[in-house]
Amino acid sequence: MFGKQSIVGLDVGSSSIKAVELKRGRTGLEVAHLGVEPLPSDIVVDSMIVDSGTVSTAIAKLFGENEIKTRNVATSVSGHSVIVKKISLPMMSDQELAETIQKEAAQQIPFDIADVSIDYQILSEDPSSPTMDVLLVAVKKDKILNYTNVLSMAGKAPAIVDIDAFALQNCYEYNYDPAPGATVALLNLGASVMNINIVKGTIPIFTRDVSVGGHQYTDSLQKELDLSFDDAEALKLGKKVGTVSEEAKAPVLQQVTEIIVLEIQKTFDFFRATAAGEHIERIYLAGGSCKVPGLIESLRQEFSLPVEELNPFHKIAPPVDGKAAEVIEQNAGQLAVAVGLALRSFDDL
């Protein structure tokens, strides 16, 4: 089905819903449609949709206003209900692996095996080696239903449920065509969760979701500077708000940035302790909060690495539609997961 029928990438975050649909053009992939629909706070909490009616209405509105006719949707999940583990198994046939993986999952996953959906991918298969690396993914079934039920309520057909970190990786791979030995950290800083995926070439070698995000900037600005939610959001993304000075704003943002950098530092330390000899060479930052003033510079200083904003449209022709082009210009990074999901229409690339 991939490549023959279009799939809309739909990223349901805790502050907004992002939709991207791609199409083949004469020189490569192009944006067919895209849009962003804000969500009120406390509608999606800890990566779970709390108010299904509000989210399904927002999805229907997003599709209607941006003239997206395609019903098939790829979405993704993250958070505590998602387990990603790299395991090493004796070399075996595909059939043997399919039979073994359930038993292996029962030992590796901290949930009742009956309550989760499991998938796996062989990462390395060297015929001369006695072992093979396998990526094991488990997601609680109620988490998947939480998302697919809302899509159905909105009149959409859930075709694929992916993982945020892997959708981000898909976007990175297509746009940056990484060298096999290049080890990079992909950070997706959303409103309430940060997805961290450390990738070597096209192989994920360490994945973790951390419960920090852009809402912490907004909350701090609201409290410290006595602002409305909307004004704090605008200020967070570098816009001018009323009489608030740079001197008043900068220390509030920096305080939260230090918390986020510390969480990244802990994750990188854990990665280094478990992946002997692997060194991160570059950091790519995506997500709705990737444009917070001073964040990229703080990451460069802390880790002494090149840090750049991931551009989901590096190799994808942008839309001609003025409204969609404006969304990309304002903050392309927030669309990285949705682009990675939309790319699932073209698994032959």
CATH number, domain with residue 32: 3.30.420.40
User: For residue 57, how many other CB atoms are within 10 A of its CB?
Assistant: 15
Q: Are residues 166 and 268 in the same domain?
A: yes
When the pLDDT of each residue in the chain is averaged and rounded to a whole number, the result is: 92
Share of the chain above pLDDT 70, in %: 98
One domain, residues 70 and 176 = yes
Same domain? For 150 and 258 the reply is yes
Residues 147-196 have pLDDT tens digits of 999 999 999 999 999 999 999 999 999 999 999 999 999 999 999 999 99
Is residue 97 within 8 Å of 122, Cβ to Cβ? yes
Assigned domain for 194 exists: yes
Task: Tell me, yes or no, whether 28 and 77 share the same domain.
Answer: yes
Question: Are 147 and 277 contained in the same domain?
Answer: yes
Report pLDDT for 238: 84
- Rounded to a whole number of angstroms, the CA Rg of the chain reads 20
**Backbone dihedral region of 313: left (phi > 0), alpha (psi from -120 to 50 degrees) or beta?**
alpha
Triad 262, 313, 288: Cα angle to 5°: 35
Spatial separation of the C-alpha atoms in residues 292 and 302, rounded to whole Å: 16
Claim to verify: residue 22 and residue 68 sit in the same structural domain? yes
Q: Which of 105, 138, 171 is a domain's end point? A: 138
Query: What domain range includes position 65?
Result: 8-81+139-216+254-346
Report pLDDT for 250: 93
At residue 1, does pLDDT exceed 80? no
Asked if residue 323 and residue 261 are part of one domain, the reply reads yes
Residue 326 domain-assigned (yes or no): yes
Give the domain-ending residue among 138, 164, 181. Answer: 138
Lowest mean per-residue pLDDT among 101-105, 156-160, 239-243: 239-243
Q: What CATH code is carried by the domain that includes residue 89? A: 3.30.1490.300
Alpha helices in the chain (DSSP H): 52-65, 94-108, 141-153, 164-176, 215-225, 229-236, 246-274, 295-303, 322-331, 336-342
- Predicted model pTM: 0.93
- Check pLDDT > 80 for residue 327: yes
Res 330: pLDDT: 87
- Domain annotation covers residue 264: yes
In terms of phi and psi (left: phi > 0; alpha: psi -120 to 50; beta: otherwise), the region of 55 is alpha
Domain check: are 145 and 90 in the same one?
A: no
Q: Looking at the structure, do residues 105 and 69 belong to the same domain, yes or no? A: no
**Can you read off the two tokens belonging to residue 237?**
């993304």
Q: Is the pLDDT of residue 4 over 80?
A: no
* CA–centroid distance for 219 within its chain: 22
Could you tell me whether strands 72-77 and 44-45 are parallel, antiparallel, or unpaired per DSSP bridges? unpaired
Residue 170 domain flag: yes
Tokens standing for residue 113: 């095996």
Residue 62 lies in a domain: yes
Say how far apart CA 6 and CA 33 lie, in whole Å: 11
Q: Into how many domains does the chain fold?
A: 2
Residues 153 and 166 in one domain: yes
Q: Has residue 339 been placed in a domain?
A: yes
Question: CA 298, CA 340: separation in Å to the nearest integer?
Answer: 27
Mean pLDDT to the nearest integer, 283-289: 95
Output the CA–CA distances (angstroms, integers) from residue 332 to 25, 202, 230, 289, 324, in the order listed. Answer: 20, 22, 20, 11, 10
Give start and end residues of each alpha helix (H) in 16-113. 52-65, 94-108
Half-sphere exposure of 318 toward its Cβ, with a 13 Å CA cutoff? 16
**For residues 261-277, average pLDDT:** 92
Is 28 in the same domain as 163?
yes
In a domain, 34, yes or no: yes
Look at residues 104, 121, 138 and tell me which one is the last residue of a structural domain: 138
pLDDT confidence band for 3 (50 / 70 / 90): very low
User: 148 with 67, same domain?
Assistant: yes
Q: Is position 2 within any domain?
A: no
